[in-house]
A and B are shown apart, each in its own frame.
Chain A
Amino acid sequence: MARAKRSSSGAPTTEPVARNGLLDRRLFLSSSLAALGAGGLALGSPGAARAAGPPETPSWMQYPGGPFSAYGGPSKHESKVTRVLIRSQPGTTGSGASRTPLEALEGTITPSGLHFERHHSGVPDIDPEQHRLLIHGMVKRPLIFTMDALMRYPMLSRIHFMECSGNSQLMYGPTPPALRAGEIHGLVSCSEWTGVPLRMLLEEAGADRAASWLLAEGADSASMSRSVPMAKAMDDALIAFYQNGERLRPENGYPVRLFLPGYEGNMSVKWLRRIKVTSTPTMTKDETSRYTDLQADGKSLMFTYPMDVKSVVTRPSPGVTLQGPGLYEVSGIAWSGSGTITRVEISADGGQTWAEAALTAPVLPRALTRFRIPWKWNGAPAVMKSRATDSTGEVQPTRDKLVAEHGTNVIFHYNAIQAWSIAANGEVKNVYA
């Protein structure tokens, strides 16, 4: 496997570090950008920028602006930035999924209103005054908690991604779906989650140390339930109340949800109502018939919990069209359920040569990590890829390798390298390459 070229110490070079125009990842951070500009490169779209100048005194400078708002929303000019590919099961309005428009966002935190959704029986309208959490089973003291009581517990905050294990499943198909990045890969989002360590509540209940599992159950009308290893529950599981500083949105589990960092999203049971400590997995519908991974030989992998190392370039990507040759910043997200992203490599020549992208702080375990690299596009057709490596040494596989190992019937846990082809007119398409 060709390793990414990383320029040696000293000032970043303005020479390409991989073929087809990928430049030193530190270039935009250094003073050599000025030299580069003097060399004849223009940022972004010179044609569009020069097309029409702004009015000298626009209307919004002539009159006082609008009033305060009780709860702010995005600019009306951003009204097209919504969840995408919203699909419900036939005859239902709330069983199915909606996705995060990854290509419209930057940084690493997903706005709560754009966090992907996956519901199995709609979004329940729960009165927090009536909602209770029961912890029982193999415990010394079965306990019932009100929400007010739980909110008095010491809390901690963690930034983590949440990914549905069915994310990117269309990529198992025989032809690459002609969709945008968010439509293909948008069952991943990232938030700051705040809540109480589950371990504290299990200790208060006196959970049996011989118990290896628990069952988590939600208060939706499917009573969605999953078995969770006790080791995970006692490690970093959160009983979460807040997302990005405010109480959970209804579609993300209000008033309380389980959160299991790095694990497939379905296990982080929303609208959490019951935890039963058990000796064995309960073998619920979702962990047996749904979220199991059918292999080419007809066998199925069960309990594939951590989401694998993965990345996708969001700029450029389908719908995010290049506006002529010139200097661009390539930008994207990488994540791993097993640890921290340690490297993201970018190729602009279909995977023949690779350059290392810059990882933008913060780089956190089990969180979306933003990567960026400068790219001087010469206007010729190109194929762009990103390849992530995590702190366990796992490297994102090619699609060919993933399919060779697991087949195309899997549905879940697709994490192969994404290829975008860029045409001479700047349009970007999803390709298998």
Chain B
Amino acid sequence: MSTPSRLAVSICVMALAACAAPTIRETPNLGRLATPAEVAAWDVSVAPDGAGLPPGRGTSRQGAIVYERKCQNCHGERGAGQPNDRLVGGQGTLATARPVRTIGSYWPYATTLFDYVRRAMPYTQSHSLSDDEVYAVTAYLLHLNGIIAESDAMSAETLPKVKMPNRDNFILAYPTRPK
């Protein structure tokens, strides 16, 4: 494979001491160029500004149907939890002796919900929901937490604009840890 850096390395080797680019080192260069289609197929991550969100949309009403079929066994009716994580409620408990960390009380970004459900849920069958279903379940869980209206549709346009209740309660410890 011919690449600019490989060419530069060759020139360096030929020029020996005369080479003025000491930062370029000879490395194996055994990667193959990924095609845009390959990258698109693998790149499932979604940033807080919405970058990476796919086309599609879903409402809370649609999401309730998906939730009852695919999520409720582990997360309880209407996200109440049991046997696994509770997803709804807990707002106002974080500074108490019994904090309840849920999507509504704790998660700082709504985009994370879409990203996580699409990559990891349902637990026993990840990558099985359509993008519309993921938008719908996202809308349902945001609505159950009182963050959006039942009629609000979630999409690449609307989801990044959702402000999560606990958004401003995170303190960055990198690059400098607060004392």
Contact = CB atoms under 8 A, between A and B. Distances in A.
Interface of A: 89-92, 95, 120-121, 134-136, 140-145, 149-150, 152-154, 200-201, 203-206, 215, 217, 221-225, 229, 231, 273-274, 276, 278, 280, 282-285, 288-289, 292-294, 296-305, 408-409
Interface in B104-138: 106-109, 111-112, 115-116, 119-120, 123, 126-127
Tell me the dominant secondary structure on chain B's binding face.
loop
B19 interface: no
A142 B31 CA distance: 9
A222 B174 contact: no
B70 interface: no
A96 to B, nearest CB: 11
A310 B83 CA distance: 34
Contacts of B27: 153, 200, 203-204
Interface string B1-34: 0011100000000000000000001011111111
B45 A276 contact: yes
Contacts, number: 159
Closest 10 CB pairs of A and B: A143-B31, A298-B95, A90-B83, A303-B174, A149-B30, A223-B119, A298-B94, A285-B116, A142-B34, A222-B120
A134 to B, nearest CB: 5
Interface in B13-72: 25, 27-34, 38-39, 42-49
A281 to B, nearest CB: 8
B99 A223 contact: no
Contact of B108 (A280, A288, A301): A288
5 contacts: A144-B34, A152-B28, A200-B27, A284-B112, A303-B173
A289 B112 contact: yes
A91 B123 CA distance: 10
Given A140-B4, A153-B28, 4 more contacts: A201-B31, A278-B47, A289-B103, A298-B169
Contacts of A303: 172-174
Given A89-B84, A283-B112, A142 B33 contact: yes
A123 to B, nearest CB: 15
Contacts of A298: 94-95, 99, 169
Contact of A152 (B3, B30, B39, B171): B30
